[in-house]
Amino acid sequence: MKPTLIMAALVLVLTSCTKLDFGNKASSSIGGTTNIPINTVGNTFANSVVTGTASYQGTIAITNITDGVATVQFKAAIPSNIPILQGISPKFKDANGNFVFEGKFKQTDEGILDYNNKNHDPFVLVKFDDNVGDKYTLEKSDGTKIVREVVRKSTTDDYYWNGMMIKTIDVEVSMSIPGVKKITYFSNHHFGLVAVMVEMDDGSKPKLTLVPNTY
């Protein structure tokens, strides 16, 4: 399967949940200020999804910010050679048939929340003071749970990104989406979400890299 920006964005669309489970760390709130450079209407994100020699790009931009919550628009053409993408609901397409998805995120100087579940509940993606083993949980309407777990935290600048070495906190999620084994979010306290890797059941690992224009 060839990778696309759509595949990474669909992971956000398909993790539909209905209520929060507070069995681990508090899963619905973060502290800190949203008055940071990355939270700017019009801020765009250079992006590339790569597996092997294949590479695809789309457009990603912040279109609105309300009460510190940013609406981020993902847009990309839908390749005809990827069967799983042909059944995308019309509500995720524009007039030209392109994939369009608007996700909502709140980033502060202390972490990132996303609201991309069925009920648009806030759910912690990462807190920058997290440690390996920290977990956040959402319980789905069918009783199953999605758990985000910190699996790695840099102690030195050891992650290559945008021509430099940076520190990251890596959060892993096991998925129940057909064809998807797990996803891993890579984030940095200054640059925000810098990459998302989707590990497919066939062994492929499309990876979306994000570079904000303003940070």
> The tokens of 75 are what?
């847009």
E strands, 143-191, in order: 145-153, 159-161, 164-166, 169-174, 180-188
- Mark 123-145 as b/e (b = at least 16 C-beta within 10 Å): bbbbbbebeeebbbbbbbeeeee
For 177, phi then psi, to 5°, come to -80, 130
Give SS3 for 19: strand
pLDDT per position as a tens digit, 80-135: 766 666 778 888 888 988 889 899 999 999 999 999 877 778 889 999 999 999 99
pLDDT values of the chain reduced to their tens digit, one per residue, 215 residues: 444 566 556 555 544 444 444 344 567 889 999 999 999 999 999 998 887 676 778 899 999 999 999 999 999 887 776 666 677 888 888 898 888 989 999 999 999 999 987 777 888 999 999 999 999 987 766 677 778 999 999 999 999 999 999 999 999 997 777 778 899 999 999 999 999 998 888 888 888 899 999 99
Please report the pLDDT score of residue 112 as a whole number: 96
Structural domains of the chain sorted by starting position, each given as residue range(s) with its CATH number in brackets:
5-212 (2.40.360)
Q: What is the pLDDT of residue 18?
A: 42
Provide the pLDDT for residue 1. Answer: 41
Q: How high is the pLDDT of residue 16?
A: 43
- Show the beta-strand stretches assigned E in 22-121: 45-51, 54-56, 59-66, 69-76, 99-107, 111-114
